[in-house]
Each structure stands twice: as C-alpha cells, then as structure tokens.
A and B are shown apart, each in its own frame.
Chain A
Amino acid sequence: MLSRVADSLYWMSRYLERAENTARQLDVTMSLMLDPGGASAEIRWQRLAAALGKPAGMEWNGDLDAMARTLVFDHLNHAAVTFCLNGARENARQVREEISSEQWQRLNRLYHQIHSPHTQAQFRSSINDVLASLLDGIHLFKGVSDTTMIHGQGWQFIRLGRYMERAYASATLLEVYQPDLFHPQEREHSGYHYLEMVGLLRCCTSFEAYCQVYTADLSSDRILEFLLLNRDFPHAIRYCVDCIRDAIDNIQRTGGRRLPEELTAVIGRLHAMLGYTTIGEILAGDPAVFLHTIREHCMRVHDLVYRYYVHYSIQSALAV
C-alpha cells in the first residue's frame, strides 16, 4: 500500500473518532449542566475543554449556546465536529479509490448534513437531536467500513487510527476527571457525585456496560478499573491498546515493513502496563502519572508508525 494512502486512511479515521468524541462529550456535559447543584457551568465547561486537549477558542465566555455552537460548527477550531469531519472527508477524498463507495457516500452525507442550513436551524431548538444524529452518522460509517471494505492493510490503518485516537482521548479524559472522582467536593451531595460518575461513564458510552460487569453500584475505583483495564469493552484503554497491537501486527503480516525493535518495545510496554497491573497497584501509586505515561507511550507509537511506514528515508529502504 502507498505510504501516502496509509497516512490518509489513518487520519481519516482519527478525525472521525475525534468528531465522535467531541460530539459525545459535549452532549454529556450539556446534560450534566441541567442539574445546577453540582459544579458550576464554567467549571464543567473548562473540564470539557481540558478533556478535549484545550484547543484554542474554547475559553469560557459565559455564552454557553454560542460556545456549544462553535464546538459543533466551527471549521477552524481543532476540536470542533465540523473541523474534524472536514478533515476526515478531505483525507478520504485523497484516497477515494481505496475506500468503498458506501464508505464514501456515508461520509459525504455526514459532511453535507453538518453543512446544511437545516442542521444549523435545528441546533437552535434541539442540540441533542443534532448531536445524536451526527453520532448516528459516524456509527453508520464505522459499520459500513467494517462490512464493505476488505480487511486488508488499508482497513488495519483505519483501525489503528481509530484506536490510537480513542486510547489517547480516553487517557486524557480520565486524567482530567480523576481528581474529581477521588476527591469530591465536601459540600457535594452524594446524588450529584453519582451524576458526575455517570457522566464520566457516558462520555465513553460505558454506563450500561459498566452495570453489566459491576451492577449499578458505582465506585471510583471500579470505574477507573473498568475504563482502564477491561479487556472486552471497546472503549477501555486496554482494549484499545490490544487493537493497536493487533493492527500493527496485521499491517506487517499484509506486506508492511518489518517492525523496528523500538516500536515493538513501546507497544509491549503499553500492553504490559495495562494487562499485568491491578487497579490496587495503580491506586497505590499516582494514577495521574500512570495515565500520563500511557499518553506519552501512545504518542511515541504514533511517531514511530509515521517514521517507519509513511515518512521513511529512501536510503533506509534501499538498504533492505
């Protein structure tokens, strides 16, 4: 597969995952704000901004509607849904011949949907409906990707992009939420603390899955354990890392270059951190440091994949 094509597929996928993440977190935050007793709207908004990586243009200005609108429709703000969908489509357009017509048409519909005046008008009356329908569109795209595309190298790059983005975003989210989770404000009523915990789970679409594993008995330790270490839930970081490892193995198997030891080592370390550590050990240390290390390792994997498959020097390739 052409390196440029692999790069575009990877970024198409990352941008879509990012769009989904923004849309879902915004949705959850807006609905948390309906209960005024908990944290103030400003604190919630700032937490959202931090969880999205503090992009420029998300500073609190008191006008919640306008800020939400920016986060959905702005095409310059790097976390905004529109910016991400534009990026996904632009990348897809450059590899139009590699993806299936169904994928392309799905993505195109999403693009035209978010740019239509109708959606903008609807946003005024119901933010939830707009976000829900965008999320639906993104889910449909993923479904279509899995069912209409050959699961070869291109698909593995799509998968790699999706789980890289998700692992990184989830680690950021947990890092941001983590202080509130373990040190709730004293005055905080337990009902509000419960809402906060549900909010965190819903940011990862994991409330129902959590209940199936642990019942509705929410506790900070278990939430952290579930979102970090569960090996069967697709939004848990461990699951993401397993998929990253598997995708890279498959890329190599389907004709990619042989993995450099550096890359094997980072992935192996990530895998060991999440696969062979208990939540008790993590909590005994500093969970914030643990999460930060995971993020750093993810970035390293990204850099190495890029350097090795996409932007390698010709000398290194001729020597083989």
Chain B
Amino acid sequence: MSAGPSEELDSLYGDYPLDQAFDEMRTADGEVRPHYRALAETLARLPENELQRRKQSADLSFLTQGITFTVYGRDEGTERIFPYDLIPRLITAQEWDRIERGLTQRITALNLFLRDVYSDAKILNDRVVPRELVYSCKHYRRQMRGLQVPRNVYIAVMGSDLLRLNTGEFVVLEDNLRVPSGVSYMLTNRRVMKRTFPQLFHSYGVQPIEHYPQMLLTTLRSLAPEGRPEPNIVLLTPGVFNSAYFEHTYLARQMGIDLVEGRDLVTHDNVVYMRTTGGLKRVDVIYRRVDDDFSDPLVFRADSALGCTGLFNAYRAGNVTVTNAFGTGLADDKAVYAYVPDMIRYYLNEDAILPNVKTYLLGEEMERRHVLANLDKLVVKAVGESGGYGMLIGPHSTARQREEFARQIEANPRNYIAQPTLDFSRAPCLIGDRLEPRHVDLRPYILFGDKVNIVPGGLTRVALEKGSLVVNSSQGGGSKDTWVLEQ
C-alpha cells in the first residue's frame, strides 16, 4: 500500500493491538487483508466527523423504527436501541462456501440424530452416543417417542454459533435448536448499512440476505400437514414482554402471517383454532417461538399460561405442525454437542467439515479431575443453558467463583462441560471515533424444509467491552452487519 492512505488510516486507529488472536482485518504483521482494503481506504478518506454523523443517523433510524429493548425497573421502561457497530464484517466467498457445506452437513446429521433417538435409538444401541447422556438430558421429551413428524424434520430453524480461531479456521461453538433469535437484527443491520454506506456496499458486491423471510415461509409451508394445500401458518410468541418480541412482529409482518399468542388459540377435537373477528379459524402450521416448557400446560409445565392447552395432542394427531419440534433441545445440550462429529460419521459417513471445540465431559472421572485442577484456564458451562448464563470464564474469574463452580460440578457433574478459553477472532469496531478490535462470533441461520437453505452471512455478534469474550446481547454484546462477498 502507498504511504498516503496508510497514514490517514493510522489516525483512524485507537488502541489496536495485534497479538495471537486472529484479526479479521489485519494480518499479524499489520497488513490490511486484501478483501478489507477497499473498506479501510473508504473509512480513511471520509471527512472528519463524517463517521460520527453517519453513526448518529443510523442510531436515529433504529430508534424511530422502534428496534429497541426495554430496561425495566422504573414505572415506565427505559428504551435503549440494540447496540450495533457500523463497521461491517467481511467474509470471502471461499470461506463462506466451506461454512455453508459444514452447516448443511451438521443440520442433516443433527436431524437424523433426533429422529433416531425418538424412534429406534440405533445410535445409542451401537454405543456411539452414551445412552445415559441422552436420557438424563433435561430437554429430552419422552412424549416425542415414536411420534411421526412431518417430513421427518425436527429442526426447521437452527442458529449455530461459529468462532474463528487463531489459525483462521472456523469452528462450531454451539448449535441452537430450540428458538434461536437474532435474525431480525441481521436483516435490519443490513438495511441500515445499505443506507449508511451505499457506494461501498455497491462496490463490494455483497451477497443478498433479504429473502430470508420468504425462505422461512417456504420452509414452514413445506412442513404443513397432509391434505392442507393452503395452510394457515402462524407465528406463536410468548407476548410483548419477551425480549425477542420485536423479532416476532418483524418476521410475522415480513412473511405476511398472523402473530398469535397462546390466548388467541383454542383446541377442539384435536384441532387448533385461532379466535378471529370472523369466528374460529383453523391453524395448520405453528412457527413456535415459545419454549417446550411453556407450550402446553397439559403436557409440559402446568403453571404456564403462555401456550395453548391441548396443543400437543393436536400435534400428536397430526392436525397441526409445530416447528421446531418439541424435544429438539436434546441435541443442543452442551454435552451431547461433544458427539456431533461422531453423529456425522455415523449417519453420513463423512468427516465434520466444521470442527467442534474441544469439550470435556465432567461426567467422566478423568476429564473431571483434569478440569477441576485447571479451572482458572477453562470455560465451564451448564449444559442446558443459553444466552451466556450459568457460565464460568476461568481466566476472568475470582477464586470464590471457582470454588463455587467446583462445588456445583462435584454435586452434579452431568450438568456441566468445560472448554478451553478460546482466543477467538477480533474485528475492527467503531469505539468513540477510533477503530479498535473487539471479539466477534458468527451466527448463521439454517433453514430445513424440503431442503437446506442458508442465507449468506448471519449475525456477527460483538463483545463491545474491551477484552470481553461474551457476545450475548443479554450481557453487553452488540452486533454488526456481515458481508459475504460475491468473489
């Protein structure tokens, strides 16, 4: 690169350390990676304060669109916009190709696994996955045993969290098979970015993602019960107090389907209806954004009023499709996760294209002893939790916290796993008026109806706190747009 722009570039950087972690934008010796060059130069050429101005205009756009989450505690909730970062994260077509193949393979295997476990349980009989691991999982639903699921699709929507290690390789940290959220942020980030950096976006040749809602609708329609050629598809939300409510309304509107709450639904003779101004109307497909536990008080938690009484019986009778199916949480249990590469080999006779992160199962005597001795270096997670809860990050923990976790592990080893503390990749983010690197992950959204569909990219989540490794929005994380390039 010539001297000119790089000097300008330097003035844009704040504290920008390059160490062993992979930097999405720069190589270890400080060179800007080829596919980031146009972005870096554009940023360097912007007049002073221009970046701030665009940031403010994007902020305002989020606020007036009501893309906010509510901080409770006072009489009236205070609303904040969902934190996001203006600098896009770039992924080359070649990198994406590998991710896409890896995820397709993964959802196929996980789906076969669920079908197998809930029917013949061959993989357990062949001792590839330990039987007690499956049957002790709190998301295993014995009600699903022997139940025929439309098209044998258990997981219609999956969101997998990928990290890039310092070798530059993407690995899967976890799969979300219950009600993965965040896709609305992916879509709105893109819309705002197109308005904020129109020329840059155009010159980069970014693969589109805007057709996600349509693909989701097609996926849902393909899963309708037999004999319902014009299915009535609805999205079931827990309601306005759910933190993902914005997303539910957004998706329903983009798909042109009704957004229903449990109180809108009634069952009669094993058929689900919704209350409309024209009387009761039959429901054929439910895209469920309510957890298993809260879906039907007759079968799951009796004290929940969020779902619909009798829903499971209607589902079992084949009169309504509910997706994702009940009991899919079994396969995103963090201990079962450790066996996904084995499942891929068992069902597909292939090697996993996207590797797993090394995972210690604390139910195993040897591994537990190793983990307990090295708690300060490892990350410990509760197997059934998500959203960054129930987690110990060894290097950032206090001795008290470690003791507490050690005690809990001894008491219930099956409930925990441990993984090495990963130094995953960082990408440049706008912090104040300077660029600084922050840790990022990537959550692509995978759809599975009559075939697997993945929109290129996904939600890049950012740990906006300096040095932080936690990207969950509930814990101070933000997001940024992800550009998968045509070339």
Q: A-side interface residues toward B, CB under 8 Å?
A: 1-6, 75, 86, 90, 93-94, 96-98, 101, 104-105, 108-109, 112, 115, 153, 251, 255-257, 309-310, 312, 314, 317-318, 320
Contact = CB atoms under 8 A, between A and B. Distances in A.
B64 A255 contact: no
A96 B261 CA distance: 13
27 contacts: A1-B276, A1-B277, A2-B260, A2-B274, A3-B275, A3-B276, A3-B277, A4-B261, A4-B263, A6-B277, A75-B75, A75-B76, A94-B239, A94-B240, A96-B66, A96-B250, A97-B252, A101-B65, A108-B64, A109-B64, A112-B64, A153-B277, A257-B278, A309-B277, A317-B275, A318-B280, A320-B279
Given A2-B275, A257-B279, A318-B280, A112 B63 contact: yes
Contacts of B275: 2-4, 312, 317
A256 B278 contact: yes
A309 B280 CA distance: 11
A90 B280 CA distance: 26
State the 8 A-B residue pairs at the shortest beta-carbon distance, nearest first: A96-B249, A97-B253, A97-B252, A255-B278, A97-B249, A309-B277, A3-B275, A256-B277
Given A75-B76, A104-B66, A314-B268, 14 more contacts: A1-B277, A2-B274, A3-B275, A4-B264, A4-B275, A93-B240, A93-B245, A96-B250, A105-B65, A105-B66, A108-B63, A109-B64, A257-B279, A317-B275
B286 to A, nearest CB: 14
B293 interface: no
Grouping DSSP codes into helix (H, G, I), strand (E, B) and loop, the B interface class, with mixed when no group exceeds half, is: mixed
A309 B246 CA distance: 26
Nearest to A91: B240
Contact of A317 (B245, B253, B279): B279
Contacts of B252: 97
Interface residues of B, number: 29
Interface string B230-261: 00000000011000011001101100001111
Interface of B: 63-66, 75-76, 239-240, 245-246, 249-250, 252-253, 258-261, 263-264, 266, 268, 274-280
Nearest to A7: B277
User: Interface majority SS on A: helix, strand, loop or mixed?
Assistant: helix
A216 to B, nearest CB: 42
A257 B253 contact: no
A22 B275 CA distance: 34
A272 B280 CA distance: 34
A314 B266 contact: yes
A238 B127 CA distance: 79
A235 to B, nearest CB: 28
A149 B65 CA distance: 17
Contacts of B253: 96-98
Contact of A97 (B63, B239, B250, B280): B250
B66 A108 contact: yes
Contacts of A104: 65-66
Contacts of A153: 277
B280 A317 contact: yes
Contacts of B63: 108, 112
Contacts of B65: 101, 104-105, 108
A86 B240 contact: no
B159 to A, nearest CB: 21
A102 to B, nearest CB: 10
Contacts of B266: 314
A309 B276 CA distance: 7
A2 to B, nearest CB: 5
Contacts of B278: 1, 255-257
A96 B280 CA distance: 22
A75 B260 CA distance: 29
Given A105-B64, A105-B65, A320-B279, A2 B264 contact: yes
Nearest to B260: A2
Given A86-B76, A101-B65, A105-B64, A255 B250 contact: no
Contact of A251 (B75, B239, B277): B277
A69 B413 CA distance: 60
Looking at A75, A93, A96, A255, which has the most chain B CB atoms within 10 Å of its CB?
A96
A310 B278 CA distance: 10
Contacts of A86: 76
Among A93, A97, A314, A318, residue most surrounded by chain B Cβ atoms (within 10 Å): A97
Given A314-B266, A318-B268, A257 B280 contact: no
